[in-house]
Structure 1
Amino acid sequence: MSEATTRPTAQPVDDLLPSLDPLLRAWLPRRRWFAGKGRPVTGFTLESVTELLPDAGLLHLLVRVHQPPADEEGPGDRYQLLIGTAEAAAPHLAPAVIGHVTHGPLAGRTAYEALQDPRHSAVLLERLRIPGALGALRFHRGPHGEVPRDLPPRPLMAEQSNSSVVYGDTLIAKVFRRVVPGTNPDLELPLALARENCDRVPTPVAWFETRESDHTAPTTLGLLQPFLKGAADGWDLALKHLTNQQDFTAQARDLGRATAEVHTALARALPTVTYTRAHIEQLAASMTHRLEATAQQVPALLPHVPGLRSAFDALARLGADGRTWQAQRIHGDLHLGQCLREPSGAWKLIDFEGEPSRPLAERRLPHPVHRDIAGMLRSFDYASPQSDWSRSCRAAYCDGYAQVTGTDPRTSPVLLRAYETDKAIYESLYEARHRPDWLKVPLAALQHLAE
């Protein structure tokens, strides 16, 4: 596919970042996707600025954020910002306002989150529709699906580690906020699954990226996928059934089958490895380290540390005794909220980027499939901790998985317990940082796992 190169209009940038600096210091820490909460921002470095459309007041920025003490170990986190500017923001854009710029090239204008503005979201779709280069950005089209013109944009308000815009109930764009060098698994894995004709995952139709140089790997910035109109979020669906005291085992069993189909296709599409003694001992050691580090940040975890460590010690002993497992690329952060049930009843898996707080290289490592399965089992417990409903769903999910693969994940209880414990430890840190009122949910599970 040929790609045209487009030069952006020159943009005076010498004073751009200093003029935005005080606004970003106040605005960034309040974003859900900002990873440096609780640490002061000491400065910014502007890595690139691109006008997505000349004279439209729409800027794409890659900004390095400097914060202690992390800067002692690296250059700081890099964020992707799309900023719109206007003399005055329209009333419907009031929640998106970053602030009023008092000096520099944008003096006298109001800066705001551009993806909340339908005019600017439409520009992003047009850029994704036509492959090519624009400043530091590269736009690509895949062989799957079309990108129609003039689809009305609708931003999604529920932001996590990314920002999303739906176009005409046909396509959805996902823009990653904290970006790191390399291909994001949320692009890599769905493209690999498409090559295997696996229809359990929406296939990207377009994406965009940047490169440090011609000799470095591209950094994925965002992608465009089919929007599953009318699909129900798995978490919301489970809670609805639970609230209405309805059985959910049939849906859980179907979800187990869907997970198994995705795992089987990934094993065909990408290389697999065998976890031998060295791998297993390293895995157990990393889990133990994560436990001890988390307990220092979540003191309520401290009484359970000895019991939880036993789960990882048991795994290490199995490795020492010669037990092995096949490892492959997996989802990496599988839970009910990453699953959509279409009106037809078919389950689709989404959001393959893995746990965003972990390094990209770690998220791309092969693991036994039990890691994904443990994540889903934890999700059933999140909906209804330690209940008959949860136990029935967990069993049905594993039954469905075994029907496809011929292997029941419960036949590896030590590995499953270790991954489930590790996941609950991750959850406890997340809840302590972002939703303290929810901390009791993973803590209850950790108490049970420790026993």
Structure 2
Amino acid sequence: MPPLDHSLVRLLAGWLPGQRWFGGKDGPIDDLSIGTATELRTGDPGLHHLILDVRQNGTTDRYQVLLGVRRELPDPLRPVEIGRLSGEQGIEGHVYDAVHDPELTGPLLAHMANATTVGPLRFRRAPGAELRTDLDGVPSAAEQSNTSLIFGDVHILKLFRRLSHGVNPDLEVNLALSQEGSGHVPAVHGWIELEPGTDGAGNEPTTLALLSEYLRSATDGWQLALTSVRDWLAQPTPPGPPAGAPSGPLEASDAGAAGGDFAAEAERLGAATAEVHRDLAAAFGVAQAPPSRVRDTVYAMNEQLDQVSAAVPEIRPHAHALRAAFDELAAGAAALPVQRVHGDYHLGQVLRTDTGWVLLDFEGEPARTPAERRAPAHPLRDVAGMLRSFEYAARFLIARNGDLPPDTADALELRARAWAERNRKAFCDGYAAAGGHDPAAHAALVRAFEFDKAVYEIRYEARNRPAWLPVPLKSLAHLTG
């Protein structure tokens, strides 16, 4: 690709903040430069791979972009146009996000099938994998912090938009679990990486994309849960107690009485989670974290709370209860087993197939550093993440409806609590029955992990999806009340 001029940089700087996967929406871009530019397809349309260095608030993040170039832009691609260049530095025509152009996604599979190297990009095929090269990729419509391309009913390619140095944990963990024979992860078919030493990439390759088996019969766990919540909220409110009888909130058992029940699936998901944790322990080992490390973890929890409280005032009324939970864990600190875990576990990271639950996306929380994502943790951290996800699902549809009359909002909140409590219990029961650490026997640990996850969620939503901020705040108000 010819040297890129300032016109393209300006176009990219204007386009980038509007992308779902851009992590710096809470501040302006101070500087943007193109670290690497690799031509993957010549002609019209042309395909170029870019790595952008984006500087914000003294920190530089790297983002991956597939850039398409066409002299004439078809109508279906106009919504993803970045801008137009008029021949500067040999580039002329419309530039756009090429992941939406089926003519330009197919070559990625061909490169992986042939294990080619193009400039600093290395395309890899997993041992024994058979790759179809006659398929075009179509972007998934799922809400994601990366971009997934679906190739027919065979492959799915996840492009890591915000890059971290080194091998991505998602590739590392999926390969290890596949070697353990886990039935709860999709097969790895290939990957794309940036060769070591490129653009400050360090001494190991940087993972750019992961190609996996596409589970065509699968249903997203988040959507399954929302369907259950929708059906449950639509049920008529049970009649009140007889005159003179004590009143109280709906019981969790009511959430399975008349439709909208998800508890059986939640229990199966808990069992699958425990089995994956067992395989992770076998693949990566288990260590003992001394009490001092537990106290260090609590210190980090309080430090994150300080940072989020300074940036998001809405969390401050809950800060005292959050710190009390963290301090309870520190006061009873004892040695804990730690191992590799999922790291960002929620209903959007699991699929229900004909044969059971499958876990996805082992790359960890997007806002964490690479070292934090790889760090061993107690498996109940993942359990706490899923418990938070049940709280999210229970209230998401209510929050999406905006302002409601107080009586209606209060009634729906009671029903949301009942749904969440029923499914939280079912998940924990399934996890413990399958050999996982019993959450009921480690209440202080689970509570601290769950509150720490809630703080993280509030920071994430404030930065990336402000409209979702009331969801974690509402559930936190209930849990700390």
Could you tell me the TM-score, scaled by structure 1's length?
A: 0.92
Q: Which residue of structure 1 aligns with residue 261 of structure 2?
A: 247
2:25 match:
37
- How big is each residue's C-alpha offset from its partner over 1:176-230, in whole Å with a ceiling of 9 and x where there is no partner? 1110211111101010101100010112110011134297011100010011102
Secondary structure of the 1:222 match is: strand
- Residue 408 of structure 1 deviates from its aligned partner by 1.3
Alignment-mate amino acid for residue 47 of structure 1: G
Deviation at 1:28, TM superposition (A): 0.4
Aligned AA for 2:281? A
Q: Give the counterpart of 2:384 among 371, 374, 379.
A: 374
Residues 70 and 267 of structure 1, relative CA distance in 2, 3 Å threshold: same
1:406 and 1:92 map into 2 onto residues whose CA distance is 49
Partner of 2:297: 283
Q: d(CA) in 2 for partners of 1:337 and 1:144?
A: 29
Alignment of 1:328 with 2:307, yes or no, is: no
1:220 matched to 2:207: yes
Give the equivalent residue in structure 2 for 1:3.
Answer: none
Alpha-carbon distance in structure 2 between the residues aligned to 1:406 and 1:59: 47
Match of 1:187 among 141, 152, 171: 171
Deviation at 1:383, TM superposition (A): 1.6
Q: CA deviation at 1:437?
A: 3.3
Aligned to 1:123: 107
Match of 1:384 among 389, 394, 406: 394
CA distance in 2, matches of 1:264, 1:37: 38
Deviations 1:395-421, CA, capped at 9 Å, x for gaps: 111111111116412210111000000
Given that 1:432 and 1:439 are in contact with CA atoms closer than 8 Å, whether structure 2 keeps it comes out as: yes
Q: Write the mapping of 1:371-450 to structure 2, written as runs, cut at 5 A.
A: 371-385=381-395, 387-405=417-435, 407-450=437-480
SS of equivalent residue, structure 2 residue 67 = strand
- Is 2:23–2:464's contact at 8 Å kept on the other side of the alignment? no
Separation in 2, partners of 1:300, 1:152: 45
Runs of 4+ in 1 over 6 A off after TM superposition: none
Classify the secondary structure of the residue corresponding to 1:46: strand
Please state how far the C-alpha of 1:436 moved relative to its aligned partner: 2.9
Taking the aligned partners of 1:383 and 1:41, their CA distance within structure 2 comes to: 33
| Counterpart secondary structure, 2:11 | helix
Residue 361 of structure 1, CA deviation: 1.1
Structure 2 residue matching 1:40: 3-state secondary structure: coil
How far apart, in 1, do the equivalents of 2:436 and 2:97 lie?
49
**TM-score normalised by length of structure 2:** 0.86
Q: Label 1:89 to 1:157 Cα distance change in 2 as closer, same or farther (>3 A).
A: farther
SS in 2 for 1:121: helix
Query: Helix, strand or coil: the match of 2:27?
Result: coil
Query: Counterpart of 1:336 in structure 2: which amino acid?
Result: L
Change beyond 3 A, Cα 1:54–1:375: same
Say if 2:145 is the partner of 1:161.
Answer: yes
**Structure 2 match to 1:206:** 190
**Counterpart amino acid of residue 427 in structure 2:** Y
Deviation string 1:225-279 (CA, Å, 9 cap, x unpaired) is: 0111021111110111222232111100000011011100000000322121121
User: Is 1:297 matched with 2:297?
Assistant: no
**In 2, distance between residues paired with 1:157 and 1:248?**
24
Deviation at 1:42, TM superposition (A): 2.9
CA drift at 1:106: 4.5
- Corresponding residue to 1:27 among 3, 7, 15: 15
Contact 2:24–2:463, Cα closer than 8 Å, also in 1: no
Report deviation, 1:282. Answer: 0.6
Give the Cα separation in 1 of the matches to 2:137 and 2:474: 42
The Cα offsets for residues 336-378 of structure 1, whole Å up to 9 and x where unpaired, read as 1111001x25111111111111111110000000110001011
Letter in 2 for 1:393: N
2:181 counterpart (186, 197, 200): 197
Partner amino acid, structure 1, of 2:38: T
Offset of residue 17 of structure 1 = 4.1
Q: SS where residue 371 of structure 2 aligns?
A: helix
Do 2:99 and 2:105's aligned partners in 1 also have CA atoms closer than 8 Å? yes
How many residues are paired up? 430
Q: In the TM superposition, what is the alpha-carbon distance from 1:144 to its structure 2 partner?
A: 4.8
Contact 1:425 1:446 (8 Å CA) reproduced: no
Report SS of the residue matched to 2:86. coil
Match of 1:138, SS state, is strand
Tell me, which stretches of 5 or more residues in structure 2 are unaligned? 233-259, 396-415
Retained in 1: the 8 A contact 2:9–2:34? Answer: no
Select the residue among 293, 318, 339 that pairs with 2:350. 339
SS at match of 1:35: coil
CA RMSD of superposed structures (Å) = 1.6
Preserved CA contact (<8 Å) 2:274 2:436 = no
Does the 8 Å contact 2:112/2:192 carry over to 1?
yes
